[in-house]
């Protein structure tokens, strides 16, 4: 069985046994599954870098921003279907990440570009709260 599926199955059992409140506290401590993310603050914008190796159809990745949170949702597929994995550390499967950016941002004048396996997102800082909105990703 896929290690990611094992984790999902285990987390569902933990939610049933321990309750939703306990599980949300634990998730703040342990690393999340899905792509790795770096967040940087500049004077006027927030830069987010997301590792998404092997994405062939960038339309499978969805970005939404609201206030100080960036939501990334999508699916990462295995490209080596004719091989049996011996070591498999790269995340594969459906994912959703909600990333707290530490400052309010706006979708207006934002940009997202996917190149060489990395999604680079530029989000202008904002002094006020914003409504939920999507960001279009450019390929290359």
On whether the CB atoms of residues 107 and 46 are closer than 8 A, the answer is no
DSSP summary character for residue 39? E
Domain annotation for the chain: domains and CATH numbers: 1-30 (no CATH), 34-139 (2.60.40.790)
The confidence band for 133, taking pLDDT boundaries of 50, 70 and 90, is: low
Q: For 57-85, what is each residue's pLDDT tens digit? A: 888 899 999 889 999 998 887 767 788 87
What does the pLDDT average to over 94-118?
Answer: 91
* pLDDT above 70 for 26: no
Q: What is the pTM of this model?
A: 0.70
CB hemisphere CA count around 58 (13 angstroms): 18
Cβ contacts of 66 within 8 Å, gap of 6 or more? 130, 131, 132, 133
């Amino acid at each position: 069985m896929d290690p990611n599926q094992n984790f999902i199955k285990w987390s569902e059992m933990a939610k049933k046994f321990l309750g939703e409140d306990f599980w949300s506290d634990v998730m703040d401590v342990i690393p999340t599954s899905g792509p790795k993310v770096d967040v940087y603050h500049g004077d006027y914008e927030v830069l987010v870098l997301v590792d998404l190796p092997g994405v062939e159809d960038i339309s499978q990745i969805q970005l939404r921003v609201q206030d100080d949170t960036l939501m990334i949702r999508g699916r990462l597929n295995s490209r080596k279907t004719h091989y049996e994995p011996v070591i498999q550390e790269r995340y594969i499967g459906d994912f959703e990440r909600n990333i707290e950016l530490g400052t309010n941002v706006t979708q207006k004048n934002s940009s997202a570009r996917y190149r060489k396996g990395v999604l680079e997102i530029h989000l202008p800082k904002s002094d006020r709260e914003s409504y939920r909105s999507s960001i279009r990703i450019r390929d290359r």
